Amino acid sequence: MKYDNFKFSISTEYSKGFYWNVFTDNTVSAQDIVSVACKRSNKNLLYTNLNDNIGRIDLSESNIISIDFTIKEKKLGSNTSGYILNGDSIYNSVWGNFWKVDMSAITLFGNRNLIQSFGITQPMLSRHSPSLSERTVKLRHKSLVINHLENSIECITSYLDHFLSRLEE
């Protein structure tokens, strides 16, 4: 499946009479999410490979020289463990990956000012009733993943557009 250049696949595991486990087989990175958000705001994200620094947007028409994106926190899951996205246990919840990404402004004088923090989530495991078909649970999980990715992208894009418009005033 391809969504905004993200490639992920879905697999299932059936425990007869108990539940369907549905897995996202590939992880989309926080850098992927921020990159798409910047593209939607018509800005070029320059990638960096320093620790948890995702990248920056260079600016030229203000005393803010760049906007930096860094990973402040991350909780990555694997198989049946991870960050609880909803529910209260593995038996009735959605598990996945979580990144907290900080957006900061860097001034001409080298000061770093936090602008906003964003939570990025990617479902990696969901459980479904055994009465549903495999096709149905795959479609539900696919929709769940796309909704989480889209919400994360939209939050960053919306705030980035707002912040950039304020700089231009």
Q: Cα(45)–Cα(157) distance, rounded to whole angstroms?
A: 12
Q: Which are the contacts of 36, defined by CB distance < 8 A and separation ≥ 6?
A: 4, 5, 6, 153
Measured at the alpha carbon of residue 10, what is the angle toward residues 6 and 11, in degrees to the nearest 5?
A: 155
Could you give the number of structural domains in the chain? 1
Q: What is the mean pLDDT, run by run of 10 residues, along the chain of 169 residues?
A: 61 78 82 93 88 88 89 76 61 78 93 94 84 88 88 95 87
Q: Which domain holds residue 45?
A: 2-168
CATH at 25: 3.30.160
Residue among 156, 128, 155, 162 nearest 143 (CA): 128
Cβ–Cβ < 8 Å for 123, 141: yes
Residue 73: what are its φ and ψ, rounded to 5°? -155, 145
Pairing type for strands 6-7 and 46-47 reads unpaired
